[in-house]
Structure 1
Amino acid sequence: MATIKRFPWINHFLGSPTGYIVHLQKGKLSHEGVGQAFWFRPASSVLSEVPVDDQELPIMFHAITRDHQDVSVQANVTYRFSDPVSVAGRLDFALQPGGAGTTAGREQVATIIGQLCQSHAIDQIAATTLAQSLERGVSELRGLLAGALQADARLQSTGIEVLGVQVLAVRPESDVERALQTPVREQLQAEADRATYERRALAVERERTISENEMASKIELAARREHLVSQEGTNARREAEEMAAAALIRAQAEAERQGISAKAEANQLELVGEATAAREAATMAVYKDMDQATLLALAFREAAASLPNINNLTITPDLLSGALAGLFQTTTPAGK
């Protein structure tokens, strides 16, 4: 931005690196260029500052398609002032006394370029349908507007060079756009639903596979348990059979032992009986040759051994006479 310092009857101008200054002194070109610095009399001088850097101009306008649909076009035009002197002579880029430039020149350029873009774009869109405009309108309009603006005689004579055109969007009205988006949204929703169903089906299939694996595992475990129970039963049966066989062997051994013991006891009893009988026979043989009085005395001795102890014995005459009478009666036949 240029700066102007004011002094009495004279001012000093200091330009900027992006502003091309055109100084007319009494209608004649006195100074021109970028970054100028000079003194001038304000009463007889006219200053114009034309920017030499690239300028960006956003443009938006409406057009009607062949099927009577309204579309909006958003574009951006990049341009620069290739001939600042011609621009200063045809457009208003005058500087204010304080050094600030007017906006009239930029507004004029925006109006010129905007009208050119709109006129060419309307002709192009009017020959296409809405579907065609939305499908290939951006690329077609970009090439059309770039060629038309770069070849426009008015812009060239003014000193304006168009560097490029970018068409950002070609959009229908909001309700039409929503209507056009509905099939795509429905299709996307259908695709999303299909993906969801496939994901659910895959999850169900995986769950079924997991359930089958669990069932197969349970069946295998049941089969192994059945085999284990059968093996345990076989082992228990074998153990019982072995225990029964062992018990039978023990019983047979015990029976044989008891038979041997009984036989031994019987033999012992037989031997004892034979010994006792032999003793008795020997005793009887001894007693056979003894007299009656000796036998009676032995009998009394044997009886006395089994009688209780008698501390006092009283023999009365009656008892003694009776005993003697019985004794004599017994001994008398023996004497005969």
Structure 2
Amino acid sequence: MAEIRRYPFVWHVRSGTTDHLVHVSRGRTVHAGTGQAFWFRPLTSALSEVPIDDRELGLLFHARTSDFQDVTVQATVAYRMADPDLAARRLDFGLEPRTGRWRGRPLEQIAQMLTEASQQHALALLAGLPLTGALATGMTGVRERIAAGLSGDERLLQTGVEVVDVRVIDVRPEADVERALQTPAREQVQQEADRATYERRALAVERERAISENELQSQIELATREEQLVTQRGANERRRATEAAAAGQIETQAKAEQTRVLAEARADTTRMVGAAEAETEAARMAVYATIDRDVLLALAAREAAAHLPQIGSLTLTPDVITSALSALARTDRDA
């Protein structure tokens, strides 16, 4: 707002860079522009201050669709005073000299004009759309309709108001209707989620089955290899037993042959020894046949004496000595 200072007989006013200040004295415009600062007489002057910065107006209103459903429209309209001199003449932007504030409420009047015009265009559009169409394309359609309608509004043009931008934030039905509309989509999403869950479970079951089949196949393969191992071990044991039996048979045959050869050798030795002993005995008998009886007795006594135990004392009778000496004498004579 403008800053007004009072001095004796004359006052001073200063405006900001975003405020357009108009000074009218005796029906004639003395000063007009932004950032003005000048002296004036309060009794003969009229001051008007028009803001020229961009301002935003929030809109929230209800509309009814063609199928009699209530929707809420939330939008924002940005505007500014394109012709502040025209706005100062059409609306009451006059300042109170003592306070520097507006005597009226010009911005509220502009807001009311923008709100009514925006609602009119939005209601006209939504009244021809069903609820689903309003929710699907309502935001874009309402924004375009409001922007086109406000840009060509004669009252706004004659007031010097220019619409800079229109944004529609939301077009929403009543809460219960919105929940009802969301139900099919939620059900479809839930069905998709359930289907994904079922597919995931089916995939998990399929993978478990594949794992079980692999484990069973592994067990079968292991059992088959174990059977082959047992068969091979049995064959190896049989082969080992056969080889051991054959080796034992060969060893037995070798031992038998060795025993036979040894027996034959012993028999041959025994026969040779017996033959030699027989020959020796025959020769001895032949010698004994030619020896005198007394000599034979002496030899027999000597042989017997060799096999008799040790004798501590021996008693010889004269008869035995006589016979022995006679025998010896005979032997010497014969020799």
**Same fold per superposition (TM over 0.5):** yes
Mapped partners of 1:289, 1:21: distance in 2: 194
TM-score by length of 1: 0.84
Mapped partners of 1:83, 1:303: distance in 2: 181
After superposition, the Cα gap between the structure-2 partners of 1:166 and 1:239, relative to the gap in structure 1 and judged at 3 Å, is: same
Partner of 2:257: 256
Root-mean-square deviation (Å): 2.9
Equivalences for residues 211-230 of structure 1 within 5 A: 211-230=212-231
TM-score by length of 2: 0.85
Mapped partners of 1:265, 1:11: distance in 2: 169
Determine if the alignment matches structure 1 residue 159 to structure 2 residue 160: yes
Identity among equivalent positions (%) equals: 52
Partner of 1:29: 29
Mapped partners of 1:274, 1:25: distance in 2: 187
Alignment-mate amino acid for residue 84 of structure 1: P
Q: What displacement does 1:266 show? A: 0.8
Determine if the alignment matches structure 1 residue 81 to structure 2 residue 81: yes
Q: What displacement does 1:306 show? A: 1.7
Equivalences for residues 41-52 of structure 1 within 5 A: 41-52=41-52
After superposition, the Cα gap between the structure-2 partners of 1:44 and 1:266, relative to the gap in structure 1 and judged at 3 Å, is: farther
Partner of 2:142: 141
Q: What displacement does 1:108 show? A: 1.7
Determine if the alignment matches structure 1 residue 125 to structure 2 residue 116: no
Residues 234-254 of structure 1: CA deviation (Å, up to 9, x unaligned):
333323322322222222222
Contact kept, 8 Å, 2:57 with 2:78, in 1: the verdict is yes
Q: Secondary structure at the match of 2:139?
A: helix
Contact kept, 8 Å, 2:23 with 2:30, in 1: the verdict is yes
Equivalences for residues 275-290 of structure 1 within 5 A: 275-290=276-291
Mapped partners of 1:118, 1:131: distance in 2: 20
Contact kept, 8 Å, 2:94 with 2:104, in 1: the verdict is no
Determine if the alignment matches structure 1 residue 192 to structure 2 residue 193: yes
- Extract unaligned runs of 5+ from structure 2: 324-335
More moved, 257-266 vs 35-44? 35-44
After superposition, the Cα gap between the structure-2 partners of 1:300 and 1:155, relative to the gap in structure 1 and judged at 3 Å, is: same
Mapped partners of 2:296, 2:174: distance in 1: 164
Mapped partners of 1:276, 1:217: distance in 2: 84
Partner of 1:238: 239
After superposition, the Cα gap between the structure-2 partners of 1:61 and 1:297, relative to the gap in structure 1 and judged at 3 Å, is: same
Contact kept, 8 Å, 2:21 with 2:36, in 1: the verdict is yes
After superposition, the Cα gap between the structure-2 partners of 1:115 and 1:264, relative to the gap in structure 1 and judged at 3 Å, is: same
Q: What displacement does 1:177 show? A: 0.9
Alignment-mate amino acid for residue 79 of structure 1: Y
Alignment-mate amino acid for residue 86 of structure 1: L
- Extract unaligned runs of 5+ from structure 1: 328-336
How many residues are paired up? 322
